[in-house]
């Protein structure tokens, strides 16, 4: 596997999940950890995007007359709005979250969408521009979701190989304790 700078590029490279049966157990676990970390980061991005989309959608509804409250009045409700239903994501676990740095000259498009200052100037932005920002955020959300799907797929393949090894006795759960 060639060395690529971003973890998502490594995970989406077909070599990341090719010949898993030939990899040492530590390498498999390391790759699964990369998937776990990426899922955490991508989940963070999605939550940030969804929050901004919720704010934008409220403001657009307010401007169209569907809402009579101000954004400030509705803010606690908007921010408290939890996603409906329980997640079936097998990677959701409690773990510390190292938030990605969202500044610098080489920001990815999702970073740009998340760091744009449109929220501070919401009242001065035209409705058409707000709709464009919403479209950009929706596109960024689709891109993050696509990446997240690729991470899940890689995680599933790696976990499948680990499970096979445990089932066949070529790996032992006791090794988990000794490698920690």
* Helices and strands of the chain, counted as H and E runs: 6, 0
Q: How far apart are CA 124 and CA 137, in angstroms?
A: 19
pLDDT for 5: 75
- Residue that wins the pLDDT comparison between 103 and 117: 117
pLDDT for 80: 82
pLDDT for 3: 56
Q: Is 78 helix (H, G, I), strand (E, B) or coil?
A: helix
Q: How far apart are CA 95 and CA 3, in angstroms?
A: 27
Query: What are the pLDDT digits (tens) for 40-85?
Result: 999 998 998 998 899 999 999 999 999 999 988 998 898 885 554 4
Q: Mean pLDDT over residues 80-91, rounded?
A: 49
pTM: 0.72
The answer to whether residues 139 and 40 touch, using CB atoms and an 8 Å cutoff, is no
CA-CA distances (angstroms) from residue 50 to 44, 73, 82? 10, 19, 11
């Amino acid at each position: 596997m060639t060395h690529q700078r971003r973890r998502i590029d490594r995970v989406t490279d077909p070599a990341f999940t090719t010949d898993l049966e030939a990899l040492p157990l530590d390498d498999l676990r390391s790759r699964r950890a990369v998937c776990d970390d990426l899922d955490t980061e991508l989940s963070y991005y999605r939550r940030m995007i969804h929050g901004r989309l919720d704010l934008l959608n409220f403001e657009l509804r307010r401007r169209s007359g569907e809402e009579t409250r101000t954004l400030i009045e509705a803010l606690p409700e908007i921010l408290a709005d939890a996603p409906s239903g329980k997640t079936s994501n097998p990677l959701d676990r409690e773990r510390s979250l190292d938030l990605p740095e969202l500044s610098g000259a080489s920001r990815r498009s999702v970073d740009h969408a998340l760091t744009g200052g449109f929220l501070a100037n919401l009242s001065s932005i035209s409705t058409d521009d707000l709709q464009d920002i919403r479209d950009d955020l929706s596109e960024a959300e689709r891109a993050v979701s696509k990446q997240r799907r690729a991470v899940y797929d890689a995680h599933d393949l790696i976990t499948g190989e680990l499970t096979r090894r445990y089932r066949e006795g070529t790996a032992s759960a006791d090794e988990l304790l000794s490698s920690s």
